[in-house]
Amino acid sequence: MSATDDDALLDLDHRTGWPADLRVLLERYPREVWEEHPNLGDLSRFWLGRHDMFRELNTGLLSAADQLKAGTVPAEAFRTWFVPRIQFFLRELHGHHMIEDHNYFPMLTATEPRLARGFEVLEGDHEMIHTGLLSLQEAGNGLLQALAGPKDRVQYAADGMSDALSGFLKSLHRHLGDEEDLIIPILLDRGEGALGH
Ligand SMILES: [Fe+2]
Ligand SMILES: [Fe+2]
């Protein structure tokens, strides 16, 4: 297999986890041991908590969009609930990626150069996710405009938002899970000093 084929298999829409060469530490520190490991410190727990928050928020936004689509929630109640949460989601996720790209990934790559390719893949994910965030933003603006208009326009915009959020959720789950599988084993092996703490 050529490097290009291999890279394509590792992009966010195609991969189904890490290949063997990027699982060297994960084999030694599988998920089952994380919770009890003495090196799982406050920073790691905080970071895992942020990931859980992003998963829950995406799921909550999707369920709200589906309720609007099904007509089980009034448009105005939906808008009041949805707007601050999607804005928070977009802003926080963007900030989270900035810290990872500029701080965590370079430090972790220097700590464990064998996993450098994994961090390049994760950075590529961030770019794809950023494009997804822009589409969500656009779908959000379209939906807000539609809420003030006729019912069929609301239906069309709600369908678009539901599709955008469910596609995004799938990519986000893949990214967060793989990121944890790459990073937590390094932190358990070396301690949180690997993140400059
Ligand atoms: Fe990330
Ligand atoms: Fe992350």
What's the 194 CA to ligand 2 centre distance in angstroms? 16
Judge whether residue 62 has pLDDT over 90.
yes
Q: How many CA atoms, within 13 angstroms, populate the side-chain half-sphere of residue 172?
A: 28
Question: Domain residues for 171?
Answer: 21-195
The single residue listed with the structure tokens 């989270």 is: 96
pLDDT at 53: 97
Which amino acid is located at 131 in the chain?
T
What's the 51 CA to ligand 1 centre distance in angstroms? 9
For residue 119, give the ligand nearest its CA.
1
Structure tokens at 94: 């963007």
Which amino acid is located at 10 in the chain?
L
Report the CATH number at residue 71.
1.20.120
Looking at per-residue confidence, does 97 or 138 come out higher?
A: 97
What's the 74 CA to ligand 1 centre distance in angstroms? 35
What's the 119 CA to ligand 1 centre distance in angstroms? 9
On average, the pLDDT of the chain sits at 92
What's the 51 CA to ligand 2 centre distance in angstroms? 6
For residue 50, give the ligand nearest its CA.
2
What's the 59 CA to ligand 2 centre distance in angstroms? 17
Query: pLDDT tens across 118-141, in order?
Result: 999 999 999 999 899 888 888 888
Residue 14 lies in a domain: no
Tally of structural domains, the chain: 1
Q: Rounded to an integer, what distance in angstroms lies between the CA atom of residue 151 and that of residue 129?
A: 31
Residue 2 lies in a domain: no
Residue 144 lies in a domain: yes
What's the 96 CA to ligand 2 centre distance in angstroms? 6
